[in-house]
Structure 1
Amino acid sequence: MDQNRADLIRKGRNVEIASLVYNSAEVAISLTAGFMAGSSALISWGVDSIVEGNSAAFMIWRLHGETKGISERELQKRKKIALGVLSTAFTFAVLFILYEAISKLISQETASMSWWGIGILLVSLVVNPMLAWGKYHYGKKTDSATLKYDAIDTMICEYQTIVVLIGIGLVQWQGWWWADPVAALLIVPYVAWEAFNAGRDAWNVQSDDANNAKAENNRDEVDETTATARKNSDS
């Protein structure tokens, strides 16, 4: 790996580290504020932030491996593990959000005001686009599909943030108690789609590994046959 590419990958990894640190703050504040206010939307947003934090952690692991010059097979193995974990995490997030939102719709419980929750949402409106730009910038520079994919995920989180803010605003200033759980439910399609994509991509990596192993075995067999033929010819 040339020095310029290694430097760019390290910078991309640093953006992911910043993303992980910020996601951790999102999780701590949004879940605490969400449970205290009884807000399904805030809790669901916090649960999704946990998954996004896991995504950043696995990206750091993968990029760190690339800077150390590990083999392509090992990189693919790390990618498969990361995608499998993410798919599972997204699936559990979907189930939790559905349970939380439907429970609130049935009980018709009204979420209370949470300035801490609104505060972290407003900060995220500014921070997430900056993180997404950094991921996409270094993903484009290094031709890293995973970094660019993660950048798109971060911008989708921006959509979720806007949805949750609107839901909380409608509850507090219009008295529409149902807006909070509905905002939570609007997050579900995205999370479910991400669970499907991550699982599919993990399966594709597994299939690619199997095909590569088969191709390698075929090459070995051809080499062995060629060597035997040459030996017989020499005899």
Structure 2
Amino acid sequence: MRPKPVADACADGCCAPAAVGPDRRPALVRRVRLLVAATITYNVAEVVALTAGAAASSGALIGFGLDSVIEVASAVAVAWQFSGRDPEGRQRRALKAIAISFFVLAIYVTGEAVSTFFTGRAPESSRTGIVLAAISLVVMPALSRAQRRAGRELGSTSAVADSRQTLLCACLSAVLLAGLLLNALFGWWWADPAVALAIAGVAVREGRTAWRGQHCC
């Protein structure tokens, strides 16, 4: 019995070798590089959440800032992959780097959240965090869609993985915004560590997916 073709294993064909013409491929590679540069630039600015989180003793805001650091690391890994002559050969190592960064985030954020629950240390409200989360909720989905479209057309698992991480940032922005508003408006301090634990849970899931290289399928 002949082995099943790779293209048949995925309904959307994303995992199949990219059927991109020689004229189209360089344009897609350039687009991925530009989107990666845009992601890095925005997430470097987003790292201000670390300072705001430390000032407000907000584990959720610190976790969001660390996720921005991981976003930068992930984008750098994809940029490194496409800077060489053999992007496909570097893809697996890029995915491993993305996965490890997710696991580190999950461990740190979980520790912060558990500590907050046990100590009962109420985080302060953060206007900077609220504004930052609201802006990210608008910017990151647009970046993610563009990254995913280019990555799928190019047949790059790591580029699609990076787009998922960008989308994760948008989801975390929504959850973070809800937690910060609940704390600021109603004094529900427990919403902050609860959001932090949610961030950690999603990070573990995405880390496992990246480690297995299953972002396309």
CA distance in 2, matches of 1:142, 1:77: 15
How far 1:184 moved relative to its partner?
Answer: 0.5
Q: Map Cα deviations across residues 111-159 of structure 1 (whole Å, 9 max, x no partner).
A: 1122211121111011101111210222233233332332232222211
Which residue number in structure 1 is paired with residue 36 of structure 2?
Answer: 16
Decide whether the 8 Å contact of 2:117 with 2:190 is kept in 1: yes
- How many residues align? The count is 194
Decide whether the 8 Å contact of 1:23 with 1:50 is kept in 2: yes
State the SS of the aligned residue for 2:67. Answer: helix
Decide whether the 8 Å contact of 1:136 with 1:151 is kept in 2: yes
For 1:86, the aligned partner's letter is I
Decide whether the 8 Å contact of 2:137 with 2:171 is kept in 1: no
Identity of aligned residues (%): 34
State which drifts further: 136-145 or 100-109: 136-145
List, as ranges, runs of 4+ consecutive aligned residues in structure 1 with deviation greater than 6 Å.
none
**What TM-score do you get using the length of structure 2 for normalisation?**
0.82
CA distance in 2, matches of 1:139, 1:89: 21
Larger radius of gyration between Structure 1 and Structure 2:
1
Decide whether the 8 Å contact of 2:126 with 2:184 is kept in 1: no
State the SS of the aligned residue for 2:213. Answer: helix
Work out which of the residue numbers 123, 147, 153 in structure 2 matches 1:135: 147
Which residue number in structure 2 is paired with residue 36 of structure 1?
Answer: 55
Structure 2: which 5+ residue stretches go unaligned? 1-20
Work out which of the residue numbers 95, 101, 106 in structure 2 matches 1:83: 95
**What TM-score do you get using the length of structure 1 for normalisation?**
0.76
What is the RMSD of the two structures over their aligned residues, measured on CA atoms? 1.8
CA distance in 2, matches of 1:37, 1:49: 18
CA distance in 1, matches of 2:161, 2:210: 11
Cα separation, partners in 2 of 1:56 and 1:79, compared to 1, 3 Å: same
CA distance in 2, matches of 1:92, 1:141: 31
* 2:66 is the counterpart of 1:54: no
* 2:126 is the counterpart of 1:114: yes
CA distance in 2, matches of 1:116, 1:60: 30
The structure where helix makes up a greater share of residues is 1
Which residue number in structure 1 is paired with residue 7 of structure 2?
Answer: none
Decide whether the 8 Å contact of 1:110 with 1:171 is kept in 2: no
Matches within 5 A, 1:161-176: 161-176=173-188
Which residue number in structure 2 is paired with residue 228 of structure 1?
Answer: none
CA distance in 2, matches of 1:79, 1:144: 8
For 2:41, the aligned partner's letter is V
How far 1:76 moved relative to its partner?
Answer: 4.2
For 1:194, the aligned partner's letter is E
CA distance in 1, matches of 2:90, 2:152: 21
Decide whether the 8 Å contact of 1:10 with 1:64 is kept in 2: no
How far 1:77 moved relative to its partner?
Answer: 4.2
CA distance in 1, matches of 2:197, 2:46: 19
